[in-house]
Homo-oligomer: A and B are copies of this chain.
Amino acid sequence: MQDTAIPATKRTAMTNQSQAVSADLIAVVIAVTNGEPRVLTIGKPGALPSGPFELGHRSLQSGLRAWVERQTNHPLGYVEQLYTFADRDRIGDERVQISISYLGLTREEQAERSPTHGWHGWYDYFPWEDHRAGVPPILPDILTPRLLAWADDVEDPSMRRDRRQRVAYAFGLDDRDWNEELVLQRYELLYEAALVAEAARGRDTSGAPALPGRPMIADHRRILATGIARLRTKIKYRPVVFELMPPAFTLLQLQRTVEALAGRLVHKQNFRRLIEQQDLVEETGETMSDTGGRPAKRFRFRQAVLAERAVAGTKLPLTRA
């Protein structure tokens, strides 16, 4: 909606010889398959679909859709803008690159495997973010000690305190709770502490210990972190989970999807209560008897809620375990 083009009148800027820049569109496309959140990538080394904004594109969003579909043959559903940033090309080039990143939600098509693109579980990139089976060992075993060591590795005591506090806050140390939304803050701390491969680029890393999580091209992993954080925040107040669900589903399937995204478990009964009392779904009439238990009713998303309260809420009960 923000993407609507309103003709610009005379520019009010003082100069008009504005610098020529190029604009790139980058997509974080998410799907959840078998209870695992996955991200759409292209090429071998793990890169997000992207491409330059071109004259033929009607709007930024449609340009993005065009690129994703061209590179992956995968149509996009829900799309929202994430963040815009600028990189100076590294050789002190006269060219400035502006990247506009987007979050997209779809369902992974079962068909077509392709060499040009693929889906990867997002916890491959962020293994410390999955707390569904409890605190992942990588945290207490590797990351926490190294982060604390990094925090202490500075002379200025106030800066040391600041680092400790940021680490403790972002990673839920001491008595603090784990906050699943702080994906970006955690990644940035790890980057600062040179605990992700991307931070070591250009440095000599021979003989250094392996760093956790699969790296990505350029700053794509940071962008992915931004997308995950946004999605984890958003599912709490907007009915976007349904973009990731098939047309009909059981409440447990819905719950598993939410848990996959949030990286933590929720209380089953309370989850159902919340979903039902918000009238987000309606029964299809069918029932599912697969998973070896009492058959579950199947539901579908009540499309009407989008119109009724485009902004209302999908609250989620988030528990420890």
Contact = CB atoms under 8 A, between A and B. Distances in A.
A53 B310 contact: no
Given A42-B12, A98-B23, A87 B53 contact: no
Contacts of A169: 308-310
A310 B50 contact: no
A52 interface: yes
Interface stretch (A2-10, A119-127, A242-250): A2-10
A2 B96 contact: no
Given A60-B85, A85-B60, A88-B5, A55 B96 contact: yes
A84 interface: yes
A307 interface: yes
Given A51-B14, A52-B13, A85 B307 contact: no
A241 to B, nearest CB: 21
A94 interface: yes
A19 B94 contact: no
B60 A307 contact: no
A1 interface: yes
A22 B18 contact: yes
Interface stretch (A103-111, A177-185, A279-287): A177-185
Give 3 closest A-B pairs by Cβ, nearest first.
Answer: A18-B52, A18-B22, A7-B90
Interface of A: 1-3, 5-24, 42-43, 47, 50-55, 59-60, 70-71, 81, 83-90, 94, 96-98, 100, 162, 165-166, 169, 179, 181-182, 184-185, 188, 198, 201-202, 217-219, 222, 226, 307-311
Given A60-B98, A81-B84, 4 more contacts: A6-B222, A7-B201, A7-B202, A8-B97
26 contacts: A2-B83, A5-B85, A5-B88, A6-B219, A7-B201, A7-B202, A8-B218, A9-B217, A10-B217, A12-B43, A12-B217, A13-B52, A14-B51, A18-B52, A18-B53, A19-B23, A20-B20, A21-B21, A53-B86, A53-B98, A59-B86, A60-B85, A60-B98, A84-B84, A98-B100, A162-B307
